[in-house]
Structure 1
């Protein structure tokens, strides 16, 4: 932490404002939102500002894309939601998102583009009727 007390205080005010106004950007993935939010929280922590875990989790869930609403609701209703780390919350939601994409690829309705090419590499296919 460099600078005078006033500089550090001003930096903290700017970071706090950024946190309060934090939103996901158009076309941003859940991973990108998580990384930006996590970096901001780390910087706030360095400057002595922390938030209750429930508040951070709620903020993250409210930023999620529409296709994760159902999973977000079910996670929010869990008892451990208030104490769950942001990393664990992200992991649960990202896992769900990957599973949704895999289902689309396997059962139809999904297109193969650069986003889900990596998912194809992790999808196991079982052959039947081998001769």
Structure 2
């Protein structure tokens, strides 16, 4: 019934003639089925409004009917595919240019890298394990080069993940 509200609009209250004037029926005058549909209309409207980002909500909260809200949301969200592409391009660019920052600890470096990879996973971007691991290792500062060579000789970059590489490298942080 809620989907019906979204697809076809809210229940239209029938009118009643009373004292020579026409007025819409009151809620209490509706049949049980009509009252149920009206309740579903209200629920559908609330569900849609509560699930919207605040900027979209501000643009559609003046609407009272679930169908009108949904139609406006669909119109406003048409740019989503372009936004996704922009986000994906930005994340690929951040990944390509990722590097350690002067004075950064290994844990700070790992935390920034993890955030980037998590952001990529959040929007469904996937990369080969070896590519992620290689980037993680090669973006470390030069003082880590001895340990990076050791990791590349002892660990498989195809099966190991960067979390394991971090754990291994963190054992040697005081020496680096």
TM range (shorter): 0.5 to 0.7
What is the rounded CA distance, in whole Å, between the counterparts of 2:87 and 2:130 in structure 1? 24
Does the 8 Å CA contact 1:30/1:65 hold for their aligned counterparts? no
Alignment match of 2:124 (pick from 48, 57, 62)? 48
**Paired residues for 1:78-93 under 5 Å:** 78-93=154-169
Runs of 4+ in 1 over 3 A off after TM superposition: none
Q: Would you say how many aligned residue pairs link Structure 1 and Structure 2?
A: 99
Q: Whole-Å Cα distance in 2 between the matches of residues 20 and 6 of structure 1?
A: 21
Q: 2: distance between equivalents of 1:23 and 1:76?
A: 19
Q: SS of the counterpart of 1:49?
A: coil
| Aligned counterpart in structure 2 of residue 27 of structure 1, from 96, 99, 103 | 103
Q: Distance in 2 between matches of 1:26 and 1:87?
A: 22
Q: Is the 8 A contact 2:91 2:116 kept in 1?
A: yes
Counterpart CA distance in 1 for 2:125 and 2:153 is 27
Larger Rg: 2
Q: Which structure features the higher share of strand residues?
A: 2
Are the aligned partners of 1:41 and 1:50 in contact in 2 as well (CA < 8 Å)?
no
Give the alignment's TM-score, normalised by structure 1.
0.67
TM-score (normalizing by structure 2): 0.51
Structure 2 regions of 5+ residues with no counterpart? 1-52, 54-76
Instruction: Give the conservation status (yes or no) of the 8 Å contact 1:57–1:86.
Output: yes
> 2: distance between equivalents of 1:44 and 1:21?
14
RMSD: 1.8
Question: In 2, distance between residues paired with 1:67 and 1:20?
Answer: 21
Contact kept in structure 1, 2:99 and 2:140, CA below 8 Å: no
Shift of 1:79: 4.9
Say whether residues 1:38 and 2:114 are aligned partners: yes
Tell me if 1:11 matches 2:92.
no
CA deviation map 1:65-112 (0-9, x unaligned): 3332212101112352321111100000011114x38xxxxxxxxxxx
